[in-house]
Amino acid sequence: EKDVAPDSRLLRRVREAALQTENLSPFINMKSSTSLTDFFLALAICNTVLVSTATEPRQRVTVPPPIKPSGITLEKIHQIFQRLKLASLSQSFSSSQSSSELGASFSAKNTEEHLAALDCCDNDNDCCAGGRDDKLQGKDSMDIGNASLDEVFKSVTNSSLPTDFCYEAESPDEAALVYAAQAYSFTLVSRTPEQVTVRLPQGTLLTFDILYTLGFDSVRKRMSVVVRHPLTKEIVVYTKGADSVVMDLLEDSAKADISGEKRMKRIKEKTQKHLDYYARDGLRTLCIAKKVLNEDDFRKWANFRREAEAAIDNRDELLMETAQNLETKLTLLGATGIEDRLQDGVPDTIAALREAGIQIWVLTGDKQETAVNIAYSCKLLDQRDTVFTINTENKETCESLLNLTLEEVRKNYEAEKTQRKFFGIIPTSFSASEAPSPEFGLVIDGRTLNIIFQGNLEDKFLELTKYCRSVLCCRSTPLQKSMVVKLVRRQLKVMTLSIGDGANDVSMIQAADVGIGISGQEGMQAVMASDFAISRFKHLKKLLLVHGHWCYSRLAKMVIYFFYKNVSYVNLLFWYQFFCGFSGGTMIDYWQMIFFNLFFTSVPPLLFGVLDRDVSAETLLDLPELYKSGQNSEIYKLSTFLLTMLDAFYQSLICFFVPYLMYEDSDIDVFSFGNPINTISLLTILLHQALEMKTWTLFQLVAMIGSVVFYLVFSLIYNATCVVCNPPTNPYWIMEKQLSEPTFYLLCLITPVIALLPRFFIFALRGTFGASLILKAQQLDKLPKGQRDLEIQKLRSRKQTTGVPVASPASNYDLDQNVSHLCVSPFLHPAAAAVSHEDTESQEHSASEANPLGKLRLEEGYYFFNKWAEEGSTATASSAGPSSGHYPLVPNRLATPGQYGGKLTKSKDKFNHGSHRRSVSAVTL
């Protein structure tokens, strides 16, 4: 997180610039150098970061040791940087290469806990020109450069970190920026409410007086600091904020001369391009700007501000107004991109959850490009997916867009369905090699969401999302997040789970059925609002697939078992009513009856409900489809319930009437009749549970045997000691008497056998014919480890040969009830920024291409069209078909995206036994 690998060239130039500032008098304004210095000063100053040193007790334990003595790490970062640079350079030549490179770099970065971020700072033509030269050189002599650059990095790292400053920031992003500045030798040394000290690369300490701090808020989306420069005595406003906001506040260059205006324009354009580029790489972008105030203006403003602060009415509005007054006519210093690193195992987890039939939505506040990119990198969207993007501010457009998309998607699915039928009739035409058709992804932004909510378009939206494999909502506010969750929960009648780590996810977490907080750097609000807290996103996989599955199967089985237990026991008393004149008499002593549920048969079911594992954790993780048993309520459903009730009736019949027939027309007395029935019933109920139970540990065994032993011991003692107790009647000496009779033992032996025989027989049949995945998994569990892995591989590969897409059919057809929705918000791990001076000249976009993503993929053989742009609306929809070559995806007209739908083929079979066999037969034929 703190390891910031500075870009060498930029570093060099920073050094030079700093040197210049020192050598030449500070009053001489060297434009490029000061803006560079300013930029880093702003990075270091414009925040609310608290400084503490390693020796101070303030330091939090969670802060990792600042120095990571690993040359390898540095080297790795360095390589990544090189690659990134290379990627950007080569983008114009070959985009496919770039994307693959990008992918590689992302995966490589996952290995370490830090950052890579880019920064652009092109204030000047010269800068850019120099940068370009540098880059070209770097490209030519990459190998030569490696070693020397490494040295530079090391020296920098070592020199800049001798004093171990620990920064505590409100958000990790802020800290990341400070660390980035530190990497360029602009070290934030101390901060008090009045002053902030920064050490410059030369080692001089600059102490700025902080005049005002305008804190960050989500409306303004920026923060500012007003400081007095110690050397120039200028009053400077540094503003840091979301690019969209800051860009609008930049100084009008009208008053400047024409060349200046041109330059400013170009800078702005270029910066915007950089920003787009960062966003596409999944970086979180910020703009840094500054403004120099003269003394008078400042004093004026300060008065306003003071008034606003002192105001009683409308204080908030006034404060806001003053802040807005100040933050105008800014000069752009640069932009930063902070990589929000994916945590370990996010793509893996998402893939597994998908396989488990969970629909995943991402609700994020990031901008669209960032979000889409992250979605790609975490395998939420596949390169083959068709992605619909809906951005609009107009209700009508939005509605028509939704309609059109919906139509197209439906066409696609109908085509698939007919294909399915076709295959059903003539199985020989089934070909296992056919790849699945593209899934659909939907990208929607906050404004569009607003329109959907306001314009009663929810139904259409949800209808559309039903067909989509994943949905991305970007730029959404916390309120919108929770509204989306509520909408999905209410309208689709599904179980929703929200997971997030930030304070802005709290509302969403609370709105969902299950809220999960990730404890991390963004504070504890999410955790405190959540039902479950985990430390890593990847743990969600285990939480859902293993513990979720266990929890469901345990609960379901235990509930059924409890029903069974009570029905079968109380029924005994019911049968007895036929023989005691329906008088409500019981043949079992009251105490033994009370203790039956309380002690004799209480611990084993509890253990069963707490400890039972129907399938081992490893198998559950290896076969995510097992999770579907919970979604489809496969264990606790009406038929199971009825069957169990039937079984309970049968068992109680047996438990009553076998002793009845045995003791019919004999001199048996009431309690002597009830005693064997009670004992038999106890044995039957416990043995029934033994049949149900899948995990046998010492606990369960002890509990089970202990229950029987306890029953016997209790009965013996109770029946021996209770001569006149418990009036009016008691079972004195009955247990003892019966234990001395062989009939009792013979009864206890045969009755449970008869009672459990049907269930046992059905279990045995199911074990042999068992088609359910759970049973199969249970059988896999019994195999030795190596063999088990092998079998799982086979099972999975078999599934793939049948061509079932990873996100399984359940999510497409049975969506209404079965699929859980998972709303994910930042499962990201913010990492610090490295600053590099990137050259964008080589990356030539044509402005007409609204969606840079589309361009990227155009060269990869994906088809991209921009239909809505033609209609003159603001919306864009990009669609990418598979490039695999199986499908001739060449629509005749750009405007009819649905046309190729009919050509898509898809072998979509539920993952079940039947389909296996079919595929097998097809192959053997």
Q: Site residues (CB under 8 A) for other proteins?
A: 579-581, 583-587, 658, 660-674, 723-724, 727-730, 732-733, 737, 741-743, 746-747, 750, 753-754, 757, 761, 764-765, 768-770, 776, 779, 791, 794, 798, 801, 916-917, 919-920, 923-924
C-beta closer to other proteins: residue 311 or 749: 749
Q: CB of 729: closest distance to other proteins in angstroms?
A: 6
C-beta closer to other proteins: residue 17 or 780: 780
Q: Is the CB of residue 55 less than 8 Å from the CB of residue 201?
A: no
DSSP code at position 820: P
Q: CB of 651: closest distance to other proteins in angstroms?
A: 15
407 annotated to bind ligand = no
Pairing mode, strands 50-53 and 532-534? unpaired
* Cα separation, 112 vs 728, whole angstroms: 77
Q: CB of 652: closest distance to other proteins in angstroms?
A: 17
C-beta closer to other proteins: residue 728 or 872: 728
284 annotated to bind ligand = yes
* Cα separation, 135 vs 122, whole angstroms: 14
Helix (H) or strand (E) holding 27: none
C-beta closer to other proteins: residue 65 or 585: 585
614 annotated to bind ligand = no
Q: Cite the DSSP H helix spans in 201-257.
A: 243-248
* Cα separation, 797 vs 786, whole angstroms: 17
Is the alpha carbon torsion for 594, 599, 602, 604 positive or negative? negative
174 annotated to bind ligand = yes
Helix (H) or strand (E) holding 516: strand 514-518
Burial call 470-499: b when 16+ CB within 10 Å, e when fewer: bbbbbbbbbebbbbbbebbbeebebbbbbb
Q: CB of 388: closest distance to other proteins in angstroms?
A: 37
Q: CB of 655: closest distance to other proteins in angstroms?
A: 13
291 annotated to bind ligand = no
Q: Is the CB of residue 477 less than 8 Å from the CB of residue 366?
A: no
Q: CB of 872: closest distance to other proteins in angstroms?
A: 54
Peptide linkage before 69 cis (omega within 30 of 0) = no
Q: CB of 913: closest distance to other proteins in angstroms?
A: 9
* Cα separation, 512 vs 733, whole angstroms: 59
Instruction: Please give the structure tokens belonging to residue 67.
Output: 């120095």
Q: Is the CB of residue 907 less than 8 Å from the CB of residue 803?
A: yes
- Collapsed DSSP state (helix, strand, coil) of residue 61: coil
Instruction: Please give the structure tokens belonging to residue 595.
Output: 């203790």
C-beta closer to other proteins: residue 688 or 821: 688
Strand partners, 288: 240, 334
DSSP code at position 171: S
- Collapsed DSSP state (helix, strand, coil) of residue 802: coil
Q: Is the CB of residue 834 less than 8 Å from the CB of residue 4?
A: yes
Q: CB of 802: closest distance to other proteins in angstroms?
A: 11
Burial call 659-674: b when 16+ CB within 10 Å, e when fewer: bbebbeeeebebbbbb
* Cα separation, 774 vs 859, whole angstroms: 45
C-beta closer to other proteins: residue 271 or 715: 715
C-beta closer to other proteins: residue 260 or 914: 914
* Residues in contact with 36: Cβ distance below 8 Å, sequence separation at least 6, in sequence order: 13, 14, 17, 121, 123, 127
Is the alpha carbon torsion for 746, 749, 752, 758 positive or negative? negative
DSSP code at position 830: E
Instruction: Please give the structure tokens belonging to residue 65.
Output: 């040791």
C-beta closer to other proteins: residue 85 or 918: 918
- Other beta carbons within 10 angstroms of residue 689's beta carbon come to 24
339 annotated to bind ligand = no
Q: CB of 599: closest distance to other proteins in angstroms?
A: 25
Question: Can you say how many angstroms the Cα of residue 102 is from the centroid of all Cα atoms in its chain?
Answer: 22
109 annotated to bind ligand = no
C-beta closer to other proteins: residue 581 or 885: 581
Quick one: which of 157, 160, 207, 276 has its CA closest to 41? 207
Q: CB of 668: closest distance to other proteins in angstroms?
A: 5
364 annotated to bind ligand = yes
- HSE, side-chain direction, 13 A CA sphere, residue 511: 23
Q: CB of 764: closest distance to other proteins in angstroms?
A: 5
* Cα separation, 177 vs 365, whole angstroms: 19
475 annotated to bind ligand = yes
* Cα separation, 706 vs 684, whole angstroms: 15
DSSP string, 592-609: HHHHIIIIITTHHHHHHH
C-beta closer to other proteins: residue 584 or 885: 584
* Cα separation, 908 vs 804, whole angstroms: 5
Q: CB of 459: closest distance to other proteins in angstroms?
A: 45
C-beta closer to other proteins: residue 713 or 923: 923
C-beta closer to other proteins: residue 46 or 587: 587
Q: CB of 661: closest distance to other proteins in angstroms?
A: 5
C-beta closer to other proteins: residue 611 or 670: 670
Q: CB of 727: closest distance to other proteins in angstroms?
A: 6
Distances (CA, A) of 488 to 461, 500, 840: 10, 17, 42
C-beta closer to other proteins: residue 27 or 769: 769
Main-chain dihedrals φ then ψ at residue 876, nearest 5 degrees: -130, 145
599 annotated to bind ligand = no
- Other beta carbons within 10 angstroms of residue 795's beta carbon come to 19
C-beta closer to other proteins: residue 699 or 733: 733
Q: CB of 737: closest distance to other proteins in angstroms?
A: 7
Amino acid at 49: V
DSSP string, 492-504: S---EEEEE-SGG
CA dihedral 739, 741, 744, 749 (to 10 degrees): 100
Q: Which residues are annotated as a binding site for Mg(2+)?
A: 501, 505
Q: Which residues are annotated as a binding site for ATP?
A: 174, 216, 240, 284, 364-366, 475, 481, 504-505
Q: Which residues are annotated as a binding site?
A: 174, 216, 240, 284, 364-366, 475, 481, 501, 504-505
